[in-house]
Structure 1
């Protein structure tokens, strides 16, 4: 059953032509800024299209996932391909749980929009540079992009409302539904929150009627889909690009050192014996790869292992959630995703293997340090030379009323750049850097002018 009559939400936002899936009401379909549409397209489908066509999503094609998009790796995932794969997993989970596939798809496509150049390493760099104005957080930056920075909806007051997504879709993108005033640390110790202080008006609107600090189930599906894709696909990339030898994983004599490395990466939420059991289960799967030599049959076996692992994790979570919540309608705050402990442990093992073999390689420490240096120097140079900002951020800088707001614009600009554009801008404003020292082997493009984006 679907609703199809135009409605006016409590915010006053007119939702015309809305054909909402069962389980979503007028408030879920409302938009922060009033919109009128002639077509009768589902508002949630419109949300997905807006993110899919956004420049912010396209830029993810040139942003680091684990390996740089311009590294010598053979077509390793970048942030865009990762986001597309997360969306595919999320859409399947949403369908199985009878949630809106478009709401979950939108959240999955959006989940990494706030990431700056050089992945989480770049996030640390901007957090350091922005310490005096509240820091940098990729999830809060995502909300800022969706509700302010991405050009799409301009109000009659001249204010940018970003993509102006519906409440349900916007809330589904929010992994940390609390403010920077009360952050929580992640397993790595980084303080996580979902909104900067100057974006709290739309955040409060988005969270109207929601339980405090509780995610909607669509956001939980997005987060699980991210975990599944990250753990499985990055494992695949590590094998294909020879960072990881499956034959060594099969050597039980090396399991002691491997488990120590895994636990140092994933933390102590899982006891060592639980991680050991999870590693054993994975390696006993019929599809497990005992070795890899890069031939077509081995690549096919690896791809089938990837598919089987995704199905294994998704089916287990779907079954457990349905058993815990037998009601027909699980949307929004009616239920929570249930992930069996054994599945969490297996995903943790895969993540730990990647962390131990790719991310934490000692030889990459100098690379990470130089990447952070590039972004910090670039932010300082733009602060001293705001005339070098692109047209959109130059306008924001000019309209900013104090140094806190102006410094936030500098952060917005640097965060928006791709890996190679960050290097090109550094070359233009500060001086040339050795691309190889940043994990990039391909020649960079000529440095663009301020408006060349």
Structure 2
């Protein structure tokens, strides 16, 4: 079924990388295959829905800062894409390919952020679990309606956005199924559900087992850079992070305790993280004494630019030192991120975690969100196909068994925004009759 679609050749990528599951001609000759991929992701409904999904702070909430609307999954994905496009281009990757991967990497994430992901994993324990990255692959290759092909019985079967092999590979952060983590079989992170293995095996044909392609590594680091820097920025804007506390004990010890095991390896010495934080605090552009004034906001915006540049240049320089000045693509290289840069990035994540995500009111909100997901799933199981959108209603009707029907319900819930999840929950929790 797969085939090269005849679009313009892209330096550094062979025809195998440009193949699509279902070959198709280009409506606009002259475009590269990766320009088509980027356009398809950018125009997808799934990307637009990310505007209503939690990044760290729930969409629609505002702080006392007049302009501090919190980031959503969509704004994060756009910022990740900008970082990844420039870093990838500097290293020789096709920039449209890296941008498409960055835009699509979070498309499968459910309402309520990682909290919703954990709640939906509990719901899906009897049908293969739930993982946002595996859901992204499922969405890109099956759920998002763009291209259909005839099935075995002649009925149309969705192949999702029908992206190139290289684009799907670049969006795969965890190239293994559930339980297949190369060093930790118990890890909750995986990139493909069991019933999506055929397309996953097609994507990974001829690649080193369990190894990310170079573009996926660029996407992954760009993701880390974007959310560490911007979550820190949002926390300062909202008044949740007091920059003076970053000099004080025991506050620093608490930050390092959050980082170790979650953002850096368990054996990391807190003194190493203290050095990383002190390096950042020692920069002339660091937003010392942030008070929300216009001048302070401008300094903060400059600091975010400085941090992004610092982290990207560190990776670019170390990778070039290891591999030279040529074009780096696919499996010809691995991204090298120096340990000091990773530690600095991790400290920023831990600061946002400690002062934004661990606030008491946030935990109360997360508990309520988990109840919404659990009760919504319970109601859909009891009442489906009532409550399912037409696309999922048809899939539910065609599903061969209870496990497959449960997966359709999980797909429906994952597609919802925070607001539509609450609205559907309220409707379905109304007693029947």
Q: What is the TM-score of this pair, normalised by structure 1?
A: 0.89
Question: Cα offset for 1:250?
Answer: 3.6
For residues 74-119 of structure 1, give each alpha carbon's deviation from its aligned partner in whole angstroms, at most 9, with x where no partner exists: 2111000000000000000011001000110000000110110000
Q: Is the 8 A contact 1:184 1:193 kept in 2?
A: no
Decide which of 126, 133, 136 is 1:132's aligned counterpart: 126
The answer to whether structure 1 residue 312 and structure 2 residue 273 are counterparts is: no
SS of residue matched to 1:193: coil
Structure 2 residue matching 1:155: 3-state secondary structure:
strand
Tell me what 2:429 maps to: 430
Match of 1:176 in 2: 174
Deviation of 1:15 (Å): 1.1
Per-residue CA deviations over 1:414-436 (Å, capped at 9, x if unaligned) read 0000001001001111159xxxx
1:210 aligned residue: 207
Moved more, 312-321 or 383-392: 383-392
**Is residue 275 of structure 1 aligned with residue 265 of structure 2?**
no
Write out per-residue CA displacement over residues 128-167 of structure 1, whole angstroms, 9 at most, x where no aligned residue: 0110111101000000000000000011331100000000
1:192 is paired with a residue of what secondary structure? coil
Give deviations 1:27-64, integer Å, cap 9, x for gaps: 00000012122422111100000000000000000100
> 2:255·2:347 contact (CA, 8 Å) conserved in 1?
no
- How big is each residue's C-alpha offset from its partner over 1:219-275, in whole Å with a ceiling of 9 and x where there is no partner? 000000000001100000000001101122244674344434444753525210110
> Residues 225 and 186 from structure 1, CA distance in 2 versus in 1: closer, same or farther, beyond 3 angstroms?
farther
Structure 1: how far apart are the matches of 2:93 and 2:22? Answer: 25
Q: How many residues align?
A: 420
Matched, 1:95 2:83: no
- Cα distance in 1 between the residues matched to 2:383 and 2:91: 51
Contact 2:229 2:304 in 1 (8 A): yes
Q: How does 1:361-380 map to 2 (within 5 A)?
A: 361-380=359-378
Please say if residues 185 and 191 of structure 1, whose CA atoms lie closer than 8 Å, have aligned partners that are also in contact: no
Q: Which runs of 5 or more structure 1 residues have no equivalent in the other structure? A: 1-10, 433-453
| 1:334-353 alignment, distance < 5 Å | 334-353=332-351
Q: Show CA shifts across 1:287-314 (max 9, x none).
A: 0111111111000000000000000000
Instruction: Give the superposition deviation at 1:325.
Output: 0.6
Q: Indicate which of 322, 325, 333 corresponds to 2:323.
A: 325
SS of the residue corresponding to residue 149 of structure 2 reads coil
**Residues 312 and 186 of structure 1: CA distance in aligned 2, closer, same or farther (over 3 Å):** farther
Query: Which residue is equivalent to 1:51?
Result: 41
- Native 8 Å contact 2:142 2:160 kept in 1: yes
Structure 2 match to 1:402: 401
Change (3 A) 1:256 1:403: closer
> Displacement, 1:185?
8.2
Contact 2:387 2:424 in 1 (8 A): no
Superposed CA RMSD in Å reads: 1.8
For residue 25 of structure 1, what is the aligned residue in structure 2? Answer: 14
> Is 1:120 matched with 2:114?
yes
Q: Residue 373 and residue 28 in structure 1: after superposition, are their counterparts in 2 closer, same or farther (change >3 A)?
A: same
